[in-house]
């Protein structure tokens, strides 16, 4: 009987395949952002859902990612600094690195927005297939809905993301 129950659970698990969208995303625009605990490197711990009422940018990153390093100064200068006093929260979610590495990465990149720890890429795995690459951004509106997704760093897409963020910030 126990074996039959275990077999049934296994079958049900495999029959509930996760839908995969463009660029290996497991979420899409219009979805409610999956909730998780944010543990800032060297800082505080809170839930993503605690940020409702603010526009949130999740930047999935890692110190070993060259494209991430290229994008981060643009996020700092063109999104974070002009948006932080208007209701914007930017959080870099650092994929599976030790806290000391993440703190050094933040210092090396000269960014002022927080970087959060993501041991085992568990947070990343809520948003994209774990084997998919970092350098992706998820923009979340004040109600917790995903309003824009990016992959890699391409200037036209980055400019569109900025436009969407600042348009959302202008709404009250």
pLDDT at 30 over 60: yes
pLDDT-derived band at 133, boundaries 50, 70, 90: confident
Mean pLDDT of the chain: 90
Spatial CA neighbour of 134 closest among 44, 58, 49, 76: 58
Average confidence (pLDDT) over 34-38: 98
d(CA 164, CA 170): 10
Domains and CATH numbers, the chain: 20-170 (3.40.30.10)
d(CA 169, CA 172): 7
pLDDT-derived band at 17, boundaries 50, 70, 90: low
Higher pLDDT: 137 or 13? It is 137
Q: Which two tokens stand for residue 101?
A: 């590495």
3-state class percentages of the chain: helix first, strand second, coil last, to nearest 5: 45, 25, 35
């Amino acid at each position: 009987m126990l074996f039959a129950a275990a077999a049934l659970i296994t079958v049900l698990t495999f029959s509930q395949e996760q839908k995969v969208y463009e660029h290996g995303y497991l979420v899409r625009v219009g979805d409610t952002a999956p909730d998780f605990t944010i543990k800032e490197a060297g800082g505080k711990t809170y839930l993503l859902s605690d940020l409702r009422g603010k526009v949130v940018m999740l930047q999935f990153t890692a110190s070993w990612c060259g494209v991430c390093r290229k994008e981060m100064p643009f996020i700092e200068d063109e999104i974070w600094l002009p948006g932080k006093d208007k209701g914007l929260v930017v959080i870099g979610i650092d994929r599976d690195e030790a806290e000391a590495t993440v703190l050094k990465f933040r210092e090396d990149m000269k960014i002022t927005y927080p970087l959060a720890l993501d041991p085992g890429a568990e947070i990343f795995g809520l948003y994209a297939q774990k084997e998919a690459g970092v350098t992706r951004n998820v923009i979340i509106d004040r109600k917790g809905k995903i309003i824009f997704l990016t992959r890699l760093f391409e200037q036209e897409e980055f400019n569109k993301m900025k436009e969407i963020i600042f348009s959302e910030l202008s709404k009250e």
